[in-house]
Amino acid sequence: MSIATEALQSSNQHGFDPDLLDRMIGVKGNGADIESRSQTLLGALGPVLSATFLSATGVTIDARPGEIKLGRRRELLAELSGDTVYCEATIANWSTDICSLCGTKLIIGMVECLLGGSDPDQLDIAARPLSGIELDMSLVVFEQLNDSLRGLVATKPDAKARAKNPQPEYPEAEDDPIANFHAVAMTLDIEFGSVAAPLTLILPQSVLLKTKINPAKLDKKSDPNKGEWTERLSDRVSKSQISLQAAVALQPLALGEISRLQPGDLLAFAHNGDIEVTLSANGQPLYTCALGRAGSRYMVKVEGQAGPDENWKTDFK
Same domain, 70 and 164: yes
Listed residues 215, 238, 261: the one ending a domain: 238
Distance in angstroms (rounded) separating the CA atoms of residues 114 and 132: 16
Same domain, 254 and 233: no
Distance in angstroms (rounded) separating the CA atoms of residues 178 and 101: 15
Same domain, 250 and 284: yes
Q: Supply the pLDDT for residue 19.
A: 79
Listed residues 238, 253, 277: the one ending a domain: 238
Listed residues 180, 215, 238: the one ending a domain: 238
Amino acid at 209: L
- This prediction has a pTM of 0.71
Distance in angstroms (rounded) separating the CA atoms of residues 21 and 24: 5
Total of domains in the chain: 2
Q: Supply the pLDDT for residue 269.
A: 82
Same domain, 142 and 273: no
Same domain, 51 and 187: yes
Q: Supply the pLDDT for residue 48.
A: 94
Contact of 64 with 167, CB cutoff 8 Å:
no
Q: Write the CATH number for 78.
A: 3.40.1550.10
Q: Supply the pLDDT for residue 162.
A: 95
Same domain, 223 and 279: no
Distance in angstroms (rounded) separating the CA atoms of residues 84 and 176: 17
What residues have CB less than 8 Å from 314, skipping those under 6 apart? 115, 116, 117, 237
Same domain, 103 and 183: yes
Same domain, 44 and 116: yes
Q: How does DSSP classify residue 263?
A: T
Amino acid at 260: R
Q: Which uninterrupted H or E stretch holds 58?
A: none
Same domain, 184 and 128: yes
Rg (Cα) of the chain, in Å, rounded? 27
Q: Supply the pLDDT for residue 40.
A: 95
What residues have CB less than 8 Å from 42, skipping those under 6 apart? 65, 66, 68, 186, 187, 188
- Summary count for the chain: helices (H), strands (E): 9, 10
Q: Supply the pLDDT for residue 1.
A: 47
Same domain, 101 and 176: yes
Q: Supply the pLDDT for residue 2.
A: 47
Q: In 10 A of CB 48, how many CB atoms?
A: 21
Q: Supply the pLDDT for residue 314.
A: 52
What residues have CB less than 8 Å from 181, skipping those under 6 apart? 27, 72, 73, 97, 204, 205, 206
Q: Supply the pLDDT for residue 317.
A: 47
Same domain, 220 and 307: no
Same domain, 229 and 256: no
Distance in angstroms (rounded) separating the CA atoms of residues 85 and 113: 19
pLDDT, block means (10 residues), the chain with 317 residues: 50 66 83 94 95 85 96 96 96 95 94 77 90 88 94 90 95 94 96 95 95 74 55 64 79 86 86 80 78 83 72 52
Q: Write the CATH number for 291.
A: 2.30.330.10
Q: Which domain holds residue 170?
A: 3-238
